[in-house]
Amino acid sequence: MNSVRYDLVVLGGGPAGYVAAIRAAQLGMKVACIDENTRFGGTCLRVGCIPSKALLESSHLYEEAKHRFADHGLTMSGLQMDLSTMMKRKEKIVDTLTGGIDMLFKQRGVTPYRGRGKFRDIESIEVTGPEGTTLVQGDRFLVCVGSRPASLPGIEEDNDRIGNSTTALSFPDVPKRLVVIGGGYIGLEMGSVWNRLGSEVIVLEALDRILPGMDSELAQLAHRTFKKQGLDFRVNTMVASAKRDGDECVVEIRDGAPIRCDRVLLATGRVPTTSGIGLDIIGVPTDRRGFISVNEDFQTEVKHVYAMGDCIGGLMLAHKAMEEGIVCVERMAGIPSHMNYDVIPAIIYTHPEISSVGKTEEQLKESGIDYRKGVSPFGANGRARTLGETEGRVKILADRKTDRVLGVHIIGVRAGDLIAEAATAMEFGASSEDIARTCHAHPTLAEAMHEAALAVDDRAIHSA
């Protein structure tokens, strides 16, 4: 069996893994990166963030052409939707970005291994791939194996009629009726795609609201907005089972009538993929859910084995994993790198978009923190008016005593881009007055952030 030794061996080529590998190589380490898929990039690039956003954009343009172009004096006839072309565009984007990782590895000198990696002992990983088995040895190891969609008892997934988010990215046709189990961001994003393309979408949520964990005011606004778009929400609804029945599916509801549909999307969160990689062999424990415990330097109980990303828990977001990858290897190299878990933005790419960073109102109330709130509706923003996108608002929460910004929550056009200003401000400990005193270009959507900051101190100019 062939064997090569490296300074750092990264197990997993997703956002955490490939970023860590590149940064480690930049710092002079001899690095290998192992991934069981034919393309590096993990869930995010292959079957998650990127392909879903490609479909969201295509379906949004289709929706705009059908219902909104006439407002701009643009009329058309014979508008058609070609699902096959839409899917090919999605795949081309994925191919381009995953191929880009191969190019970056080559430029930086990272050695890629394609195959299933499993620890053989505390100094080596056995990689089984198309070309046989290779032994990869290392002085340090970094476990970045990510997560997978969670399953539910009674849901008989066949990855065709009943499947998870990966399945929903490649439906061969538009289902007449789609049942989405789970009212979180994945369910809403994929539900929005197929709703725009013509599906009747029913979202089933076990809790009493959609988007659990998000600022409740924004979640309520989102519920009303998406309901107007045609999504059928049924909260406080427990699913007992989902089974295929020929070319249809039957979803059984506890204390309710069954629902027949064409397809079912299970979107109830994600779980770590830490089983079967030999952690037990090297003495790295996981909790009952499969998460790996690490210290502040991302070390496991085995000193030279590190872990990060989805498999250690916390927010399961690609950018959080990327940041952890950089911080971890920089600390390995003796650089006092910084990771601030209080300032990690989260975005839902529906229309309108929803974004947030920092604490919600509910969290501040539960912690007994006295705060002030400033709100600016997009209806008062000139740029939003020209775009025809006046729905939503920016909300800033600031400490009443210090005025330090504690949380920012946005629902509205391009909220995902606007949240970056808030995250930057919070990272540097800015006050709402710091944002208010910063001149924002006119006319821009960013002025809504400026106006919300003014509103914290009851100084808003363009909104009551």
Q: Tokens for 201, please give them.
A: 């979408």
Q: Is residue 462 part of a domain?
A: no
Same domain, 261 and 351: no
Q: Is residue 463 part of a domain?
A: no
Average pLDDT over residues 143-164: 97
255-293 pLDDT, tens digit per residue, is: 999 999 999 999 999 999 999 999 999 999 999 999 999
Q: Is residue 109 part of a domain?
A: yes
Residues 24 and 52 sit within 8 Å (Cβ to Cβ): no
Average pLDDT over residues 440-444: 98
Q: Cα(422)–Cα(345) distance, rounded to whole angstroms?
A: 9
383-415 pLDDT, tens digit per residue, is: 999 999 999 999 999 999 999 999 999 999 999
Q: Is residue 366 part of a domain?
A: yes
Mean pLDDT taken over the chain: 97
Same domain, 257 and 278: no
| pLDDT higher than 90, residue 236 | yes
- Angle, nearest 10°, between helix axes 185-196 and 216-229? 20
Q: Tokens for 335, please give them.
A: 């650089």
Q: Is residue 16 part of a domain?
A: yes
463 pLDDT tier (thresholds 50, 70, 90): confident
| pLDDT higher than 90, residue 128 | yes
Same domain, 200 and 309: no
Q: Is residue 237 part of a domain?
A: yes
Q: Is residue 369 part of a domain?
A: yes
Number of domains in the chain: 3
Same domain, 262 and 120: no
Q: What is the pLDDT of residue 3?
A: 76
Q: Tokens for 334, please give them.
A: 């003796």
Same domain, 287 and 383: no
Q: What is the pLDDT of residue 5?
A: 96
| pLDDT higher than 70, residue 313 | yes
**Cα–Cα nearest to 289, from 314, 265, 267:** 314
1 pLDDT tier (thresholds 50, 70, 90): low
How large a percentage of the chain has pLDDT more than 70?
A: 100
Q: Which of 268, 292, 310 is the endpoint of a domain?
A: 268
Same domain, 197 and 287: no
Same domain, 93 and 13: yes
Tell me which residue has tokens 């295509």: 58
Q: Which of 268, 291, 321 is the endpoint of a domain?
A: 268
Kindly name the residue from 409, 442, 450, 462 that is annotated as catalytic.
Answer: 442
Q: Which of 305, 332, 359 is the endpoint of a domain?
A: 332
Q: What's the CA angle centered on 319, arms 314 and 322, to 5 degrees? A: 95
Q: Give the CATH number, domain containing residue 360.
A: 3.30.390.30
254 pLDDT tier (thresholds 50, 70, 90): very high
Q: Is residue 153 part of a domain?
A: no
Q: What is the pLDDT of residue 464?
A: 77
Sign for the pseudo-dihedral over CA of 103, 107, 108, 113: positive
**Chain-centroid distance, C-alpha 137:** 33
10-41 pLDDT, tens digit per residue, is: 999 999 999 999 999 999 999 999 999 999 99
Same domain, 129 and 209: no
68-85 pLDDT, tens digit per residue, is: 999 999 998 999 999 999
C-beta neighbour count of 64 within 10 angstroms: 16
Q: What is the pLDDT of residue 2?
A: 67
Same domain, 277 and 264: no
**Cα–Cα nearest to 356, from 408, 316, 430:** 408
- Phi, psi torsion values for 444, nearest 5 degrees: -140, 160
Residues 440 and 376 sit within 8 Å (Cβ to Cβ): no
| pLDDT higher than 80, residue 441 | yes
The parent domain of residue 263 ranges over 162-268
Q: What is the pLDDT of residue 107?
A: 98
Same domain, 98 and 218: no
Please indicate whether residue 442 is annotated as part of the active site.
Answer: yes
Q: Give the CATH number, domain containing residue 240.
A: 3.50.50.60
Cβ neighbors of 217 (< 8 A, separation 6 or more) are: 361, 395, 409
Same domain, 369 and 444: yes
Same domain, 281 and 375: no
CB half-sphere exposure, 304, CA atoms < 13 A? 14
